[in-house]
A and B are shown apart, each in its own frame.
Chain A
C-alpha cells in the first residue's frame, strides 16, 4: 500500500492525526508524510482540515556524545581534581592541565569556587555527575525535561541543541470522502474516445503556467513601430533614410552649419577614410550654398564671412543626424514645380564619435518630423508638437529658447516628469533658417518647421532601464527581449 493510501486510511480511522507521530509510528521520513498529505489535500477543496504546529526536542551534539563515551563531564573532572585539597589548586596549574575552561560552569553548579589567590577550591560533596547523567537519560528519551540550570549549561556547552520541527495536525474536512478514487492528471485522447473520463477523478490544478515557445520582437523596435504609427496617423510620409554614409555637404553645409563649427570636429563626427570623398555635388545648388555661407548670397544674411571650401564639403562621414536626409528631401521638394506642401518623418540610426557611457552610444535612433508649407508659424510648431506628444501620452509641454545652427527660432521641448518631479528635455525643434531653404530654391514665403528626439531615451524611461546597453546592442539579455510588454502608447 502506498504512503498516500496509508495516510488516507489512518485519517479515516482517527479523529485527528499528527504527521509527526504518524511518521514515527510507521518509521517513515517526516517529509515524505508531508508530501503525501499535500497530494491528498489536492483531491478537493475542504477535503482535509490541516493545522500547522511545532514541536521542540533536544538532540545530543557530537560533543555531547563524546562526553558520554568519556564517562565524565569536564565540570565533574574539575571538581574531582580539586576535591578535598586544602587551599585548592591555582588556576594557572588548572589551565595548563586543560581543566580550567569548565570553571564557570562548575561554579554555576555550586561545585567549586575561587579564593582571593586565584586558587580553585571545592565547595561541597558531590556524589554524581549530574551533567553526564542528564545526557545519558536524554540519549534514551529526547522528550525528557532537564532542570533549567542543567539545560542552560548543556546548551551553552554545545553538548545539546534544540530542534524545532514543523508538522501538521490533520482532521477530516467538510468535503472529506471515505472513498478515494484513483486521480489522474491529464485528460487524454483515450479517455474521450472510451468515455471513461466520466468515472475518473482529476487532480486539482495549481494554475502555474509554463513558458510559451516562439519568437519575440525587439523592445526598441516595438517602440519604433508605435512612433511610426503616430506619424502615419498624422499624415506624414516616411523619408528614405537608408543611407548611413553622407557627404559633409548634405549633413552640414546644406543646413547652413558653418565649416568651422565644432560639430565638424573629428572629436564629434565619424569621418571616412574610404570612401573619403563623395563623387559629385549638385553644382548650381552648391554655388548658392557657398555664397550663402560666405556672404549671405542674397538671403538677407551676413553669412559667416569666411571662405567656404568645396573639399571640406565633399568629405564623407557617417551622418550625425537624419536631417541630412531631410535636406535632400527639401531640395527635391524645391525642385518640384509648382511647389507642393509636404510633411515628412523618419526614425533611423545616426552616428556620433562620442565617448560612450550608460546613456550615450556611438549610434542611436533619431526620430524626426518636418512640415514644409506656405506661411507656417512658431505657433503651428507648438501646436503640432502638442498633438504629437499627446499621442505619446505626454500632455504638458514647455518650450525653452535654444540655439541650433540650422533653425531659428529654435525651441527645446521640455515635459513634466511626474516620477522625477521636474521638467526634463524631451526633444528639440525649430524653424529652418532662410539661409538653408532659399538656396534650395524654395519660395521665400515657404517655411519649414521641424523637431527631433531620440528613440532610445523614451524607451529607456518606458521600460525602466538605466543602461542603454541593456536595450540595444549584442549584450542585451534575451530574457529581457522575451519578457517586455507590448508598447501601448
Chain B
C-alpha cells in the first residue's frame, strides 16, 4: 500500500478547514484512507539516516501527514488528488470536468514512433500542460507524484516510465526511437558531461535509486530514446531524462511522455498526471493533445481523458450492500465519490471520470455507494445459509493423535516448513540434496528458505539444540506437513502429514520412541505383527546414514513402509550441535486417515 507524505498546513489550506489529528484520522477512515503517521521532515530524516545526518540541518519542522492510499487509487497519490477527492466526498465542490484540447492539425505536436522501439519498449503516450504556474510546493508534489506512480502502477518503471520536459526548450515534432547504446550521446539530468548508453549504465551502476532500473534495458541491443526534431535527447527511458529539457520552477509548458510495455497503464498514468496538475494551468482542468503516430502509421490522440458511462440498477446496489436507499439517494452518494450520476428510469447512469481508472466493473461502483453510505452504518444481518460443519479428516486425525502423544510425555514443537538444502541432506548424513525429492525455491532471500522440508526431524533437532539449558530428558514431537516432489500431482508436489518424535537424554533410549510408536499404533488399532505378514506392523532392520549402524529400522505397516525409527548417528548429532544421544521415530499418518 503506497504512503504519501503531505504537509499538514498545505493540506488544511487546500481543504479550507483545520482539523485535529483525530478528526482528520476519522475522516480518512470513512473515506478509505489511513493516517499512518504524524511526523516532520526532520523526524523522517533522523529516523532513516540517524540523528547525526548532515541533512538534518536544512530539514523542515513543518508537520507532515503520512497517509496510506489504497493500491488502486492512483488519483490519490498526491496532495492535489487527496484534497480533490476529500472535498468532493464532503460535498464541498462538484467534480471538475477534464478536457483535452486538440489544436488544429497544423499546430498539434506530434510524436512519431520508430519500428525499433518494438524490440525494447514499444509504446508511448504523451500530453502537454499549457501555461502552468508552479510554486515550490506544487513543483515538489509534481516530482513526488511521478515517483509514486513509478513505484506503483508503473511497477518500478518496468511497465511504464514517465518523462516530463520543459516544452519551450525543445522543438517538435518528437520521435520515439531505439538506438544501439553506442550510437547516441547526451547529458543526463543534472550532469555536466555527455555520455552514451554504456556510459549511462556505468554512471548509475552505484546510484542508490537509479541502479535498480538499469537491468530493465541493460541487455537490450537497442535503448529507447525520446528525441526532438533537432535530435536533442529528451530522455532515455526508463533510466533518466536529458538535462537539456529539464523542468524548473519557471517552466510554463510541460511535455509529458510515458513510454511503456503496457499501453493501458501508460494511458492511465498520463491521464492521472494531467488530471492532478491541470488545475494549475491558466485554463484549469485542460490538457493539450499530442498526436502519436505509430510505426504502422496509425494516428492516436492523447491524453484520453475519456468519460465512460455505466448503467447500474439501484436494486442491485441495495441488495449487494444490504441497504434500502432510493435511486435518488444512491445518485447523491455516487456524486460524493466523484462519479456523476443521474436517474435513468429504474436505473442509474454513472459517468466514470478519467481520474477513476480503478473502476472496471459495476461492483466497483457498488463499493463506492457503500463507502459513501458509510460502512459502519450498514445494518448488520446474518446470512441465512444453513450448513452443517465438518472437519478435514487429516486434521481431525492429527488432533486426535497430538493429545495422546503429549499425554505420553512429549512436548510439541512447531517448526518451519522451509529450511536449507543442508538441513534435509548433508546434515542428515546424505551425500547430496539430489538424493532428496525436495521442492526447490528459485528466489530465496536467505539460506533458511532454499527448500521445503521433506522430513520433520531437522526442525525438532534444532529445537532441542536451542533448548540445551533445559533438564534432560527432552522429549519433543511435531505433527505437521512435509512437502514431497511428486510428478503425478497436478503441481508436481504434494504435502504429507507426518508425526516425528525425538527422545534426547544421557543415553539414546530407543525403547522410549519405540514405546511411543507402539502407543500410536495401539491408538490406531494396528496390531503388532512379529510374523511380518501384510496385516499389522513390525520393524524391519535397515541401514540409513542418518542413524547409528545397526540401530535403525523401517516401520512396515499393513505391508507398506510408513517411516523410520532408530538411534541418530553421532555425525548427525554433531552437525545439529547436539552433544547428547537421541533416538527418533517419524511416520506418515495419511494411510490412517
Interface residues of A (CB under 8 A from B): 213-218, 220-221, 225, 228, 231-247, 260, 262, 265-266, 270-280, 296, 299-306, 316, 318, 341-343, 349, 351, 353, 355, 361-363, 371, 373, 375-380, 382-384, 386-387, 398-403, 405, 408-411, 431, 433-435, 447, 449, 472-479, 481-482
A243-B495, A377-B320 given; A343·B385 CB < 8 A: yes
Q: How far is the CB of A367 from chain B (nearest CB, A)?
A: 14
Q: How far is the CB of B493 from chain A (nearest CB, A)?
A: 4
On chain A, the residues within 8 Å of B309 by CB distance are none
Stretch at the interface among B99-107, B245-253, B466-474: B466-474
Stretch at the interface among B164-172, B343-351, B415-423, B542-550: B415-423
On chain B, the residues within 8 Å of A477 by CB distance are 467
Q: How far is the CB of A247 from chain B (nearest CB, A)?
A: 6
Is B264 touching A304 in the complex (CB atoms < 8 A)?
A: yes
Cβ-closest chain A residue relative to B159: A260
Is B475 touching A238 in the complex (CB atoms < 8 A)?
A: no
On chain B, the residues within 8 Å of A371 by CB distance are 383, 385
A271-B443, A379-B323 given; A238·B387 CB < 8 A: no
On chain A, the residues within 8 Å of B448 by CB distance are 362
Is A411 touching B411 in the complex (CB atoms < 8 A)?
A: no
**Can you give 13 A-B contacts (C-beta < 8 A)?**
A215-B409, A232-B390, A238-B391, A245-B494, A271-B441, A273-B440, A362-B448, A378-B375, A379-B321, A405-B72, A408-B361, A472-B416, A474-B415
Is A351 touching B418 in the complex (CB atoms < 8 A)?
A: yes
On chain A, the residues within 8 Å of B85 by CB distance are none
On chain B, the residues within 8 Å of A228 by CB distance are 391, 395
On chain A, the residues within 8 Å of B474 by CB distance are 478
A380-B322, A411-B375, A449-B383 given; A403·B70 CB < 8 A: yes
Stretch at the interface among B7-15, B43-51, B134-142, B397-405: B397-405
Is B485 touching A274 in the complex (CB atoms < 8 A)?
A: yes
Q: How far is the CB of B491 from chain A (nearest CB, A)?
A: 4
On chain A, the residues within 8 Å of B383 by CB distance are 371, 373, 376, 380, 383-384, 449
- Cα-based distance from A306 to B122 in the complex (angstroms): 14
Stretch at the interface among B282-290, B297-305, B364-372: B364-372
On chain A, the residues within 8 Å of B406 by CB distance are 214-217
Is B371 touching A401 in the complex (CB atoms < 8 A)?
A: yes
- Cα-based distance from A384 to B262 in the complex (angstroms): 41
Is B491 touching A246 in the complex (CB atoms < 8 A)?
A: yes
Q: Which of A215, A355, A410 has the most CB of B within 10 A?
A: A215
Is B70 touching A301 in the complex (CB atoms < 8 A)?
A: no
On chain A, the residues within 8 Å of B370 by CB distance are 378, 401, 409
On chain B, the residues within 8 Å of A361 by CB distance are 416
Ranked 8 nearest A-B pairs via Cβ: A379-B322, A275-B492, A401-B32, A377-B322, A403-B70, A474-B462, A273-B442, A409-B367
Contact partner of A306 (CB less than 8 A), chosen from B262, B319, B405, B409, is B262
On chain B, the residues within 8 Å of A279 by CB distance are 487, 490-492
Residue B17 CB within 8 A of the other chain: no
Is B384 touching A218 in the complex (CB atoms < 8 A)?
A: no
The interface on chain B, measured as residues whose beta carbon lies within 8 A of the other chain's beta carbons, has a size of: 101
On chain A, the residues within 8 Å of B264 by CB distance are 304-306
Cβ-closest chain A residue relative to B375: A399
Is B466 touching A474 in the complex (CB atoms < 8 A)?
A: yes
A383-B383, A476-B463 given; A353·B445 CB < 8 A: yes
- Cα-based distance from A161 to B264 in the complex (angstroms): 90
Is A214 touching B409 in the complex (CB atoms < 8 A)?
A: yes
Q: How far is the CB of B348 from chain A (nearest CB, A)?
A: 15
- Cα-based distance from A277 to B439 in the complex (angstroms): 12
A247-B491, A400-B32 given; A383·B382 CB < 8 A: yes
Residue B381 CB within 8 A of the other chain: yes
Residue B537 CB within 8 A of the other chain: no
On chain B, the residues within 8 Å of A239 by CB distance are 392
- Cα-based distance from A214 to B404 in the complex (angstroms): 11
Contact partner of A236 (CB less than 8 A), chosen from B34, B387, B460, B463, is B387
Contact partner of B440 (CB less than 8 A), chosen from A214, A236, A274, A434, is A274
Is A217 touching B402 in the complex (CB atoms < 8 A)?
A: yes
Is B481 touching A478 in the complex (CB atoms < 8 A)?
A: no
- Cα-based distance from A449 to B415 in the complex (angstroms): 32
On chain A, the residues within 8 Å of B460 by CB distance are 474
On chain B, the residues within 8 Å of A473 by CB distance are 414-416
On chain A, the residues within 8 Å of B382 by CB distance are 380, 383-384, 387
Q: How far is the CB of B512 from chain A (nearest CB, A)?
A: 12
Cβ-closest chain A residue relative to B372: A401
Residue B221 CB within 8 A of the other chain: no
Contact partner of B320 (CB less than 8 A), chosen from A245, A274, A431, is A431
Q: Which of B406-441 contact A (CB under 8 A)?
A: 406-418, 439-441
Cβ-closest chain B residue relative to A346: B392
Is B492 touching A245 in the complex (CB atoms < 8 A)?
A: yes
